[in-house]
Amino acid sequence: MNLDFLIPLENEVLETIQSYPEHALAHSIQIHTEEQGLPELSNVTIAIVGVLEGRGAVNNDTTGYGLSSVREYFYKLFPGNWGLNIVDLGNVPQGNSLSDTHFVLKEVVASLAKKNILPVIIGGGQDLTYANYRAYDALEQMVNVVVVDSKFDLGNLEDSLNSQSYLSKIVMEEPANLFNFSNIGYQTFFNAQEEIDLIQSLSFDAYRLGEAKDLKIVEPIMRDADIVSIDMGAVRRSEAPGNANAGPNGFYGDEICAISRYAGISDKVTSFGVYEFNNRLDNSGQTAHLVAQMIWYFIEGVSCRAKDYPYCTKEKYLKYIVPLEGDVMNFYKSHKSGRWWLEIHTLTDNKYKRHALIPCTYQDYLDATNQNIPERWYKALKKLG
């Protein structure tokens, strides 16, 4: 595996967390140390990876430092009834260039994904989402990216890769593995109308902050994600001051933790990142503490996965057939969790088969029975067409 690039946690951090209560996370997670080396990865479910890189974070370039603060708060927490094997692989060091750091992170994520280990990435600018996305090139599958952010970060194609232009690189650059992009929590006044129109014309999903405050809509969005990327700038400054781009509006701390838990519950999510934490701007460790709790809630979600995504067999699902004018629409409801899926008609291209069933809500089913076709069906069909 390409994990030799990773550097161990600092001895000062290890000394601090070893003093925590015996039942705290500090004593139940295997950690990459200078003395013991990398942890054994057999039967591991989740691997925490820090990235000591901030050069791509526009107006927030000291992010990526001080990750020890997040870890100190995280390891002080007590685990839930998880039954998961978790490791901390240490940090990706800053490379000679930003592209070097991106390359190393891409290799690390790809190596973990091939072993079905879910990476939790902390630190650095949100441009690292691009490196995370490129790791899926090795898996040869179309992926869905869900971003929690107040901005779309499209930038211009000619812009260098950074935290405010990474999305255009994901959308336009080859190989094109992106099936769908969803933004949760954008704030209209931070985004040009041309960008909002472009997101809509590409049949991507975008939910304004006011809409996303109704957290019930977040669950089906996360249920269809492969990659989840959270910009701490999506959280209001009063809740998370450790971000140079934070504003007065955004999610509250409990809301961003709930969103993180929804990401963990999703059977499809295979990588999770929290970016743009700037320790030098933090106030009494408030943001570091919140990031630690977000990671805790994500892991809590993973431990509660229903594993009811209907990948192949549908025997354990109740099928609802809704007649439409000249056609039918098939819905599936899980006996196990009560969650709903909407079927897109049989696909001939293997590349898209894992997207033939899209998460939906009971309300989507009710709308269909009233001959109102759900918008998510139109968008999926357009991307498959």
Find where tokens 């701490």 sit.
232
Same structural domain, 295 and 329? no
Show which of 273, 303, 333 is a domain's final residue. Answer: 303
- The pLDDT value recorded for residue 380 is 84
Same structural domain, 299 and 230? yes
Same structural domain, 246 and 100? yes
d(CA 294, CA 289): 9
pTM: 0.95
Residue 309 located in a structural domain: no
Q: Which 3 state secondary structure label does DSSP give 51?
A: strand
- 30-31: strand order across its sheet: 30-31, 86-92, 46-51, 118-122, 271-275, 227-231, 143-148, 178-186, 205-208
Same structural domain, 276 and 323? no
Torsion on CA atoms 30, 35, 37, 43, rounded to nearest 10: -30
Residues 6+ apart with CB under 8 A from 322: 328, 329, 330, 331, 365, 368, 369
Q: Give exposure, 123-136, as e/b (b: 16+ Cβ within 10 Å).
A: bbbbbbbbbbbbbb
pLDDT in tens, 85-97: 999 999 999 999 9
Residue 1 located in a structural domain: no
d(CA 116, CA 205): 27
- Is the pLDDT confidence value at 99 over 60? yes
Q: Which amino acid is at 246?
A: A
pLDDT in tens, 209-266: 999 999 999 999 999 999 999 999 999 999 999 999 999 999 999 999 999 999 999 9
Question: 132 lies in which domain range?
Answer: 11-303
Same structural domain, 343 and 271? no
CATH, residue 146: 3.40.800.10
What mean pLDDT value characterizes the chain?
Answer: 93
Residue 5 located in a structural domain: no
Same structural domain, 213 and 344? no
Same structural domain, 254 and 331? no
Same structural domain, 265 and 178? yes
Same structural domain, 227 and 283? yes
Choose among 45, 88, 70, 50: nearest CA to 300: 45
Same structural domain, 64 and 207? yes
- The pLDDT value recorded for residue 1 is 53
Residue 280 located in a structural domain: yes
pLDDT in tens, 325-334: 878 999 999 9
Residue 60 located in a structural domain: yes
pLDDT in tens, 12-61: 999 999 999 999 999 999 999 999 999 999 999 999 999 999 999 999 98
Residue 250 located in a structural domain: yes
Q: Which 3 state secondary structure label does DSSP give 149?
A: coil
Same structural domain, 64 and 191? yes
Quote the number of domains for the chain. Answer: 2
Residue 377 located in a structural domain: yes
Residue 281 located in a structural domain: yes
- Is the pLDDT confidence value at 278 over 60? yes
Show which of 274, 303, 332 is a domain's final residue. Answer: 303
Same structural domain, 103 and 221? yes
Show which of 303, 338, 367 is a domain's final residue. Answer: 303
d(CA 380, CA 352): 11
Q: Give exposure, 108-120, as e/b (b: 16+ Cβ within 10 Å).
A: bbbbbbeeebbbb
